[in-house]
Chain A
Amino acid sequence: GNSVTQMEGPVTLSEEAFLTINCTYTATGYPSLFWYVQYPGEGLQLLLKATKADDKGSNKGFEATYRKETTSFHLEKGSVQVSDSAVYFCALMFSGGYNKLIFGAGTRLAVHP
């Protein structure tokens, strides 16, 4: 079946460190891929997305590239801030039918000054 696997957290970093959160997927066909962020006490916000192979999504200094050959969509940021502390969810979606999002387990990021 279709699924998303994320690296386990929590990920603890110092401010200005480099961030990578791994995400791989299993899917039949070619899904669209998303990263959502959930700040403490809030709902989900779309962080970035990519709809086809080799697309790079970017937003707020975060980037992720849709790699079909490795079925991956790793999230990266060159220099994290305390305000980036949140839970990050990788998700995939297929078009056609009704378009259900399938989420990974989420990765908690804690950034310390």
Chain B
Amino acid sequence: SAVISQKPSRDICQRGTSLTIQCQVDSQVTMMFWYRQQPGQSLTLIATANQGSEATYESGFVIDKFPISRPNLTFSTLTVSNMSPEDSSIYLCSVENPRAQGDYGYTFGSGTRLTVV
């Protein structure tokens, strides 16, 4: 399976500011996925990031609020912009495991626990 390094692991931010979350993967991957997990809830996909193209956002999520960068095949960032307390969540990145290695499934980063005050 891929190994993902996600940072920061947690942060407390003032409302109106922005936070950028980084994910570094130890292998090249075509797509990276960003999820949000609101307190006590399941995971919701925010967007899918392909290298060299615009990210694809799920219903209810927009680029102005959650801009994503994907400068190469091993790295991506998600920015939470103009934060409000409702953005307090855990944000996770994910990649699909290389099927050629027979490892069918997804690997997740350790998550970023964001609290907006």
Contacts and interface: CB of A to CB of B under 8 A. Distances in A.
B105 A43 contact: no
B26 to A, nearest CB: 16
B41 interface: yes
Given A42-B111, A44-B92, A34 B105 contact: yes
A43 B108 contact: yes
Nearest to A104: B42
B25 to A, nearest CB: 14
B104 interface: yes
B105 A98 contact: no
Interface residues of B, number: 23
A100 interface: yes
B107 interface: yes
A85 to B, nearest CB: 16
A49 B105 contact: yes
Given A44-B111, A46-B106, A106-B42, 19 more contacts: A32-B104, A34-B105, A42-B111, A43-B6, A43-B90, A43-B108, A43-B109, A44-B43, A46-B1, A46-B107, A89-B42, A89-B43, A93-B105, A93-B106, A98-B31, A98-B48, A101-B106, A104-B42, A105-B41
